[in-house]
């Protein structure tokens, strides 16, 4: 559970440039353990896949992983634009109105959401059904 003294990490723009040269590390200090997208609800198969993907990401520098256009990651600088009001409401109530997030794509639908501080990815949500920030439908 997050303590009442929650310290929300600063936005990416405030990071020192040298942080992009450091290897990505995952942190578990901000996990939302009683919400809709809690990591504790992960299936065994998804857990194995998540750990394999996280291990791969930890071989990358923050600059490589958070590079714009990189398939594995995405940076959301304005969470108020999120189409899922449940997600923004949760950020408001549980995370002091956190307005930025990052995500790790595991496969087709599965996502891990969190906050970036330097080379660290602070995990917040596990989204196995791509509901936090669903993709726009495309006409094909």
**What's CA 134's distance to the chain center, in Å?**
14
**pLDDT tens for each residue of 14-36:** 556 688 999 999 999 999 999 99
Give the pair of three-digit tokens for residue 23. Answer: 């290897």
**pLDDT tens for each residue of 55-72:** 999 999 999 999 998 889
Predicted local distance difference test score (pLDDT) of residue 140: 45
The 8-class DSSP code of residue 67 comes to -
Q: Where are the domains of the chain?
A: 31-127
Could you tell me what percent of the chain has a pLDDT over 70?
Answer: 85
Instruction: Give the C-alpha separation, 76 to 58, whole Å.
Output: 21
Under the banding of pLDDT at 50, 70 and 90, the label for residue 9 is: low
pTM recorded for the entire structure: 0.85
Residue 45 or 18, more confident: 45
Query: Strand runs (DSSP E) across 41-140, as ranges?
Result: 73-76, 101-105, 111-117, 120-127
Instruction: Give the C-alpha separation, 99 to 44, whole Å.
Output: 31
Could you tell me what percent of the chain has a pLDDT over 90?
Answer: 78
Predicted local distance difference test score (pLDDT) of residue 27: 98
Under the banding of pLDDT at 50, 70 and 90, the label for residue 127 is: very high
Q: Which residues touch 11 (CB under 8 Å, ≥6 apart)?
A: 77, 99, 100
State how beta strands 73-76 and 120-127 pair. unpaired
């Amino acid at each position: 559970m997050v303590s009442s003294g929650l310290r929300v990490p600063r936005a990416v723009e405030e990071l020192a440039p040298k942080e992009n040269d450091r290897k990505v590390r995952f942190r578990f200090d901000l996990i939302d353990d009683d919400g809709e997208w809690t990591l504790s609800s992960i299936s065994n198969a998804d857990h194995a896949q998540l750990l394999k993907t996280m291990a791969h990401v930890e071989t990358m520098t923050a600059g490589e992983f958070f590079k714009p256009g990189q398939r594995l990651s995405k940076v959301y600088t304005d969470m108020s634009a999120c189409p899922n009001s449940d997600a923004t409401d949760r950020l408001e109530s549980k995370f002091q109105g956190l307005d930025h997030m990052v995500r790790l794509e595991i496969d087709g639908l599965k996502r891990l959401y969190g906050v970036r501080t330097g080379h660290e990815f602070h995990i917040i949500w596990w989204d196995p059904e791509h509901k936090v920030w669903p993709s726009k439908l495309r006409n094909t």
